[in-house]
Amino acid sequence: PDSVPYYPVLSDRIEMTKRSIANLKSFIEVFEMANYLTITGKYKEAMAYYQYKLQRYQSHKIYNNIGLVSILTALREFTQKELVFEYPLELENEPIFDRTGETRRDSILKASIRYFDFALGMDPNYLPAKLNKAIAWTLLGELEKASYFCEQEIMEVADTAQYAKTLYDAWVLDGIILAKKGKKDLAKGMFEK
């Protein structure tokens, strides 16, 4: 809603979200630059980037890389005779967040959709996979895709003998989708069904 007790107004919440996404993109760039500086041997500069990021966001990945840069810096103080072995240090190169600002949960939900696609590739008429895929889309906010699957791919083809529960669950999901779209009366009708 536009206003909620104890919360900023909707326009302020939207603006805060936009600023958070911009900050997230900048954090990703700082992390990538720190990693680049590390692999090119510019440890002092890499340390500055990691510490800058650490002041704003705490992560085990950042701490790992700061520790790694410290070891790499210390290794420069050893003589070649003292360093008989190459040590298998591990730089964390996986981004903390996706460049698009995608959250971990969105990434996991998108992976689940791929798994449902595999299931449907093996049996295109397997309605539970279609329902679960529609739920994943609903959770991702892809309401039109979810609605299409509920109405066209499940409700219209469901054999009540084999997939009665899936049909009922599709009605419930369609009600959820309608409620998320603000169509509360239609949602109520689906729930009552």
**pLDDT tens-digit profile of 137-193?**
888 889 898 898 888 888 887 766 677 788 888 888 888 999 989 999 998 998 888
DSSP string for residues in 73-136: HHHTTS-TTT--S--------S-SS-TT---HHHHHHHHHHHHHHHHHHH-TT-HHHHHHHHHH
User: Which contacts (CB < 8 Å, 24+ apart) does range 140-145 have?
Assistant: 140/106, 140/109, 140/110, 143/177, 143/180, 143/181
What per-residue confidence (pLDDT) applies to 169? 85
**pLDDT tens-digit profile of 7-23?**
777 777 777 777 766 66
pLDDT above 60 for 98: no
Amino acid at 81: K
pLDDT above 60 for 101: no
